[in-house]
Amino acid sequence: MELLQLIIGGLANGCIYGLVALGFVMIYKASEGVNFAQGDMMMLGAFIALGFGNSDEMGLPFFIAVILAMVLMFGIGWGVERVVVRRIFGQPQFALVILTIALGFVFRFVAGSIWGYTPLVLETPFAGQNLRGGGIVISLADLVTIGVTLVLTIALWAFFAFTKIGLAAQAASQNQMAAYIVGVPVMRINSLIWGLSGAVATVAGVLYATRGAIDPNIGLLGIKAFAAAVIGGLGSLPGALLGGLIIGVVEPVAGRYAPGELAKMSPYIIMLIVLVTRPGGLFSQIQMKKV
Residues that bind other proteins (CB under 8 A): 158-159, 162-165, 167-168, 171, 174-175, 177-186, 285-287
CA distance 60 to 94: 41
Amino acid identity, position 146: I
Minimal distance, residue 187 CB to other proteins, in Å: 9
CA distance 207 to 205: 5
Select 55 or 287, whichever has its Cβ closest to other proteins: 287
Select 132 or 290, whichever has its Cβ closest to other proteins: 290
Please enumerate in sequence order all residues whose Cβ is within 8 A of that of 231, keeping only pairs 6 or more positions apart, or say none.
239, 242, 243, 246, 247, 270, 271, 274, 281, 282
Select 165 or 220, whichever has its Cβ closest to other proteins: 165
Minimal distance, residue 285 CB to other proteins, in Å: 6
CA distance 266 to 272: 10
57, 69 contact by CB (below 8 A)? no
Minimal distance, residue 184 CB to other proteins, in Å: 6
Select 217 or 284, whichever has its Cβ closest to other proteins: 284
The residues facing 137 across adjacent strands are 132
Select 64 or 161, whichever has its Cβ closest to other proteins: 161
Q: Collapsing DSSP states into helix, strand and coil, what is residue 136?
A: strand
CA distance 201 to 244: 14
Q: At what angle do helices 262-277 and 221-232 cross, to 10 degrees?
A: 30
Minimal distance, residue 279 CB to other proteins, in Å: 16
Minimal distance, residue 155 CB to other proteins, in Å: 8
Minimal distance, residue 170 CB to other proteins, in Å: 8
Select 54 or 236, whichever has its Cβ closest to other proteins: 236
